[in-house]
Structure 1
């Protein structure tokens, strides 16, 4: 259905926020679809300002005891003063992501003389098309980002010979500025070669190569630093490599372009479509019925509001975006793969908001919440690559030991191209929070729950264990008001939020044992024990972990307001009641510590927290609204889910369907996709005898219509396909095992045929819980398929 698989527009993009994205995981491009001068804004994921630098605070450890005492005494201003003086990195900031450059193609077709204009992004093929008629001549332009060929390719076709000029630049996102941030620009025969140094000591260097071939009657001439093309059909290929991964990055970029040009357009297009669909078609959401609004251009559909087909388009677009911005490389490059950052890979600015870095206090995690249920586990491999670099001795291990005298490794609120683990910036509500790495490590066990892939679990286990070691040493004993002693974090904070002291009403940041901290740590400990059992390892930390888990305090409820307590021991009030972060509710989502059935009292307290946040303006950014969507889906409140999705489209969505903070942040797209999947199927529950529960349509809003979900992945290693109408599952429910099935890693399918280790072939059992309350059991071993009536 075009309504759920294409974004289309009846006019060119006037600004970057209207343009459409393509990407192959490493190379990205925003396409404007202009007719006079087409503008392609390029990115390469390793083009960052500056090189690695040692920012570890040298005086933190000797002041740690004093800082903890100040927090205990409620001396908030003094505690923050000490942190600012001794616990911040120097320099305080990390590196930032930059654009690769721009390509401008001057056709000279003024828009007021153009007829039948249309530009579209086809999610099924991952191809951007611009079509129009100028002077009775049809113009068709297709652009794609090929993972197979590692290039961006553009095919230009006209009925008669057409002349156009191609230039490459590296300018500010402000189009009227004339500064060019590049080293050199050379043209030779049919190529343009641009060399770039983003700047700063030991910065990476980049080479961007553009090459052109034409039909037999066409010509390409280098002229004035540009290429002048006259042809009916031309193939434009853009490649880029950097010194981050390649010593001979100039040669590598030129080789990519030459090889692609030699293959030709037909081969590039065929290989690209086949490869993209092998991943994109693993899951698919279709919703209906359609409405007249669904035939409108996408920007107008957004203005009209939510329809079932628009929801399906949003989710399918999110799957497309993750595939386009997070893909593993081949060969030796794989250890330097980078996950999707704050903007995926699409950044127009030399001064991007928050550096377009990897933010670890929810944003990077949210990028991958929907990855596994949407059958895109291949995309998580780049996240694991970064995790391994964070845990290296020169990165996270060094920071843990130097700042806190702790074992293992840690990372604070942000990281960058160089896997910098030191505190970032000098902002008290976020800077001194060393649990970003621990939270990120939760994906290690979660990946196994969905895929049952033992090799990946075994490979990542040392990273998980190192995070556990740090958390064991980070916990300290604290006496609570009831006289009991618990193990908590100190200093602690609730990411980016502040409080008013319950006694003095003084504004503060640091507390003892925030709910967010203890949720992350307790979940990490459980993951560690489960991983040890699964890998049949004798955990040398077993005694320590068990003792620490028993000493963690339970979540508490504020007696005055009835909400879930956010600030640990103290019953502080919110300085900003409508704050965008709801970190104290992580136990609902993405973790499953609080459940409507298993812990109804805590669930009601969490709901009360949400009510207070929303009543005071919470959920006002794209990603925070998406987190609320995820939480309401777990609480099984379909009316609130529908209301939140409407708000997401109304206030936090750009014309190109990008999520808006403001500015653009891609985490809102990914978080909303995860929430919709959670409304379709939930799989976090186990029965008393350990059977996996697959709960169908647990939170599907009635106004979201009828549909079909193909290939949604569930914990326990299952894939489910089903249809529904009027909230009732109709026809057969297909349950397949992905153990030994079609999901792949970089080494191919886990079917044992290539030596990939599989879990034991014991019969696995589970139950499907239908929305009408029916319970149907299923079981299987190895590759398995069953149909449930």
Structure 2
């Protein structure tokens, strides 16, 4: 259905929040679709201000015992003062992401002479198209970002010869500002070459090159730093490289342009679509019935509210966004691939909110929650590349040793292009929290559960073990008022939240053993044991991990409110009861520590916590609302899912379907898609039996569609599930296919397969239908249940 795979508009974008994105994982563009002067805002994922910094706090380790004492005694003001003086980095902030530049194409077609205007983004081909009539001429402009050719390609076609001007620059995101943030622009031989240095010590340098070819009758003239084109058919290609990956960055960018122009438009388009669809077509989602609102332009559909087809479009768009901002490179060396940042790939500002960095206290993780269920396994590779760089001796290992005297490695609440692991900024509720890296490591075991990829698991094991080593040393034994001693984190915090001390009523940030910390660490330890068992290894840490797990405190429930305690055993009161973070509920989602069936008491307490947050205004940012959606889907409350998705559209969605914090943050889009797929299928293991449970439509709201078809949903256990349904019940049979395969994410794995044939044949599971029926399956399949 076109309504589930196309965003379209009947007018050009008047601002960046109305423009449409394309990207190849590294190179991106926001397209405005203007007929007068088209504006293309360019990004390259390694264009960041400044170089690597030495920011590790020098006085943290010798002050750590004193800080722990202050936290233990509830002397909050003194503890925060000490953190500010001894534990914050200097300089306090990490590097920030910047735009690459902008292309302006002056067509000169005025709005009052243009008819039959339409611009659209086709999610099935990743091609943007603007078309209109100008007088007697039909104008068609198509654009794509090719991962094969590593260029942005633009095809301009007109029924008659058309003259237009092409300019390349690097202006501020404020359109009327005249300052250009570049080093030089040279125009010669049908090309424009722009060099830029974002600024700051040891900054990367960037080269952006634009080249033009026309049909045989066409001409290209250099004039005043611009290219004047006069042709019926024109191909424009844009390439960019930086010194982050290439010492000869200028030459590589030039080679990209030359190769793409030589290949020509037809082959660029064919190769791009074929490559893109190998990933995008792994999954499909169609929902109905269709409504009259579904035929409207996308911005008007958003205003009308939830329809089944709009839910499908939102999900498919989110898949497209992750593919476009986290597609692995074609280079044999993928160690410098970068994951989707706070804005994915698309940032218009030289001073972006929160630096458009990689934020590790939920946002980067949320970007990838739906990656595996939505069968976008290759998109995980850039995340693992960053994870390995975080763990390097000069990065995370150094921070762990010099700040905390610990083994292994750690990373705090943010990181940047240079994999900086030191505390970021001077904000007490967030800065001193060294578990960002440990949380990222949860994707290592999760990747195996969904893919059964043993080589990838083995490659990532040293990173996982390093995080385990750090957490073992970060935990300390503390005595609590209940007379028991536990291993907990101290200092600890619940990311970005604050409390009133239950004893002194003093406002505080640091506690001992927050629920978030203990959820992350206990899950990390459990993953470690599972990985060791799967790889059949017995490293030296096994006994230490086992003993430590027995020393962790159990989750605590507030007797007065019935909610899950956020601040560990202490019953502190919230300064902001409707806080956007729901860190105490990580055990429900994305982790699986708290389960409706296996731990009903804790599940009820977690749900009570969620109710209190919502009653006090929680979910007021896009990503926070997305986490709410994920939690309600895991709680199997479809009406709450529908209610919060409607709120996401109404209050946190921009005209181009981007989620808005505000401003735009991609995590809201990707987190909401993870929730939608969780409503379709939930997959868990029956503990001790090695059997997978695949729950079909466990939380599907009627507002999301009374009929539909989902294909290629990937599940834990290495299964792909496809099915149709009508009115809440499966229509026909559920197809379960074995998805375990050779590890194409890791070229170094060679011919090694993920699972031996006998192991695959012994795998088993059950499908749980919406009406409660249970059908067992075993072996390779495919199974029709």
TM range (shorter): over 0.9
Report the counterpart of residue 589 of structure 1 in structure 2: 589
CA distance in 2, matches of 1:187, 1:234: 18
Mind listing any 5+ residue stretches in structure 1 that lack a counterpart? none
Report the counterpart of residue 768 of structure 1 in structure 2: 767
- Say whether residues 1:246 and 2:246 are aligned partners: yes
Report the counterpart of residue 785 of structure 1 in structure 2: 782
Report the counterpart of residue 42 of structure 2 in structure 1: 42
CA distance in 2, matches of 1:87, 1:198: 29
CA distance in 2, matches of 1:548, 1:780: 37
Report the counterpart of residue 718 of structure 2 in structure 1: 717
Q: Is the 8 A contact 1:454 1:759 kept in 2?
A: no
TM-score, reference length from structure 1: 0.98
CA distance in 2, matches of 1:740, 1:83: 48
* Shift, 1:786, TM fit: 1.5
* Shift, 1:506, TM fit: 1.0
CA distance in 1, matches of 2:217, 2:27: 31
Mind listing any 5+ residue stretches in structure 2 that lack a counterpart? none
* Shift, 1:744, TM fit: 3.6
CA distance in 1, matches of 2:422, 2:682: 37
Report the counterpart of residue 396 of structure 1 in structure 2: 396
* Shift, 1:746, TM fit: 4.9
* Shift, 1:755, TM fit: 4.2
Q: For 1:663-742, what aligned pairs fall within 5 Å after superposition?
A: 663-686=663-686, 689-705=689-705, 706-740=707-741
CA distance in 2, matches of 1:702, 1:98: 42
Q: Is the 8 A contact 2:147 2:330 kept in 1?
A: no
Instruction: Classify the secondary structure of the residue corresponding to 2:736.
Output: strand
* Shift, 1:759, TM fit: 4.1
* Shift, 1:761, TM fit: 2.3
Q: Is the 8 A contact 1:452 1:759 kept in 2?
A: no
Give per-residue Cα distances to partners, 1:484-523, cap 9 Å, x unaligned: 1000000000000000110111111000000000000000
* Shift, 1:745, TM fit: 2.0
CA distance in 1, matches of 2:702, 2:269: 40
CA distance in 1, matches of 2:746, 2:187: 37
Instruction: Classify the secondary structure of the residue corresponding to 2:478.
Output: strand
Q: Is the 8 A contact 1:378 1:746 kept in 2?
A: no
* Shift, 1:550, TM fit: 0.2
How many pairs are equivalent? Answer: 782
Q: For 1:290-309, what aligned pairs fall within 5 Å after superposition?
A: 290-309=290-309
CA 1:478–1:687 in 2, change beyond 3 Å: closer, same or farther? closer
Give per-residue Cα distances to partners, 1:282-339, cap 9 Å, x unaligned: 0011100000000000000000000000000000000000000002123354111100
Instruction: Classify the secondary structure of the residue corresponding to 2:269.
Output: helix
CA distance in 2, matches of 1:755, 1:77: 56
Give per-residue Cα distances to partners, 1:583-638, cap 9 Å, x unaligned: 00000000011111111111111111111111111000000000000000000000
Q: For 1:381-780, what aligned pairs fall within 5 Å after superposition?
A: 381-686=381-686, 689-705=689-705, 706-740=707-741, 744-747=744-747, 754-759=751-756, 761-762=758-759, 763-780=762-779
* Shift, 1:684, TM fit: 2.2
Instruction: Classify the secondary structure of the residue corresponding to 1:334.
Output: coil
Q: Is the 8 A contact 1:687 1:693 kept in 2?
A: no
* Shift, 1:757, TM fit: 4.7
TM-score, reference length from structure 2: 0.99
Give per-residue Cα distances to partners, 1:694-715, cap 9 Å, x unaligned: 0101000112111111000000
Moved more, 757-766 or 53-62: 757-766
* Shift, 1:112, TM fit: 1.9
CA distance in 2, matches of 1:143, 1:759: 44
Q: Is the 8 A contact 1:626 1:671 kept in 2?
A: yes
Report the counterpart of residue 52 of structure 2 in structure 1: 52
Runs ≥4 in structure 1, deviation > 6 angstroms? none
CA-atom RMSD in angstroms: 1.1
Q: Is the 8 A contact 1:17 1:654 kept in 2?
A: yes
* Shift, 1:787, TM fit: 1.0
Instruction: Classify the secondary structure of the residue corresponding to 1:628.
Output: helix
CA 1:367–1:120 in 2, change beyond 3 Å: closer, same or farther? same
* Shift, 1:687, TM fit: 5.5
